[in-house]
Amino acid sequence: MGWRRATPADVAPRDAAERDPVEAAIAATPRVNHLPKGQQQYADLDRALPIGYGQTNSQPTTVRAMLRALRVRPGMRVLDVGSGSGWTTVLLARLVGETGRVVGVERIAELVADGAHAVQASVRQATADVLGVPAEAPFDRILVSAQSHAVPRQLVEQLTEDGLMVVPVDGQLLRVDARGREEQLGSYVFVPLVTDDDPAWD
Q: Which residues are catalytic?
A: 58
> Position 193: which residue type?
L
> If 0-12 CB within 10 Å is exposed, 13-18 middle and 19+ buried, where does residue 105 land?
buried
**Torsion of Cα atoms, 18 then 22 then 23 then 29, to 10°:** 110
CB of 181 closer than 8 Å to CB of 164: no
Q: List, in sequence order, every residue forming a beta bridge with 147; answer none if it has no partner.
A: 192
